[in-house]
Amino acid sequence: MPWQIEIWQAGQLVVRHQLNLTGQQICLDMQGGDLADLIPWMGSAAVFQKAYNGRITVLMKNSELASLFASEYPQFTFLAPERYSSANFYACYPFDKWNEKELVHSPVNYQRVNPQDYADSLLMTISEHQPPLLAAATEDCAKAYGKYVCLTAHAQYKMQEWNNPDGWTKVVEFLKKGGYRVFNLDDEEIEGTEKLEGENSLARKLNLVRGCAFTVGVASGYGWLAWACGKPVVLVTGCTENGGDFPTKYRVSNAQVCHGCYHRCEMPLKSNDACPDGKDFVCTSSITAEQVIEAIKKVPEYKEK
């Protein structure tokens, strides 16, 4: 939406400028984003760049995150925040999160919508939840490891996790009985799963996800990574409403109990381990292993041995 500003002084027009982004030097400040933010944000950024043919600079907090996208977007410059100078840009879009109650920097509250819809609202784009391009695989993990799935059980907040104490154990047992190796993407241990040997970098985890049959887990950054790779994701969630995460046909939730707290609680939480509604995470503790297993069976790529 092109807008125009006018500055008057003592009855005289001093400045008149109409927004024109075409071909301009533009900064997208994503330094506050983690993996689960950057993947949907970059989907919108790609649409934005194509629309205006702009020279886009993206600020990200570290080079490891930037390396996921840099090779696929040569028209973008990825810059460390400390090298940023506002004088170099026609416009800068800050991708702020949390507590935008007065909507000073964004048209919508970050918590009320899908992260990619939030990015679309900032950039005035229509990305239709198209994932961004990610770096090509540098290792053929399907050939190296055979038939396997990826699992991600941990997230920044406990409310994002599956809080059924026996849930993952039963799901892992089911998958292994079906002939699958189960690789754990998280840093934390998950009983019965394997981890990559040697370097455990984000680039190697991307290789691992690219080679898996499908992924099972929560809406962490690795869940978003699998979605962007085009992998089926069996998503176990309770803190978000339907549509609050990446699109998947295999979403397991329980709308009959308290749920969706992420969209209405004050973020960031004071405690990572606290249930925002004081109900002991009933949103996910009420989800059974059998429900998740039934969702897995619906994935076309799932094949028993």
Ordered per-residue pLDDT tens for the chain, 305 residues = 678 999 999 999 999 999 999 999 999 999 999 999 999 999 999 999 999 998 999 999 999 999 999 999 999 999 998 888 888 899 999 997 755 567 777 788 888 899 999 999 999 999 999 999 999 999 999 999 999 999 999 998 999 999 999 999 999 999 999 999 999 999 898 999 999 988 889 999 999 999 999 999 999 999 999 999 999 999 999 999 999 999 999 999 999 999 999 988 877 777 788 899 999 999 999 999 999 999 999 999 998 86
Give Cα separations from 10 to 14, 18, 24 (angstroms).
9, 22, 32
Cβ 223 vs Cβ 235: under 8 Å: yes
Asked if 88 contacts 26 with a C-beta cutoff of 8 angstroms, the reply is no
Q: Could you give the domains of the chain? A: 4-123 (3.40.50), 142-297 (3.40.50.2000)
Instruction: From residue 95, give the alpha-carbon distance in Å to each of 25, 65, 203, 286.
Output: 17, 16, 24, 35
Give the whole-angstrom CA distance, residue 36 versus residue 222: 7
Q: Quick check: 31 and 62 in contact, CB under 8 A?
A: no
Give the separation between CA 133 and CA 129, rounded to whole angstroms: 13
3-state secondary structure of 111: helix
Task: Kindly report the three-state secondary structure assignment for every residue of 232-261.
Answer: CEEEECCCCCCCCCCCCCEEECCCCCCCCH
pLDDT for res 40: 97
Residue whose tokens read 């992420």: 262
CA pair distance 75, 132, nearest whole angstrom: 14
Alpha-carbon dihedral angle through residues 86, 89, 90, 92, given to the nearest 10 degrees: -60
Assigned token pair, 142: 């399907």
| pTM exceeds 0.85, yes or no | yes
pLDDT computed for residue 46 by the predictor: 98
Q: Output the pLDDT for position 171.
A: 98
Collapsed DSSP state (helix, strand, coil) of residue 151: strand
Secondary structure letter of residue 201 according to DSSP: -
Task: Provide the pLDDT for residue 100.
Answer: 57
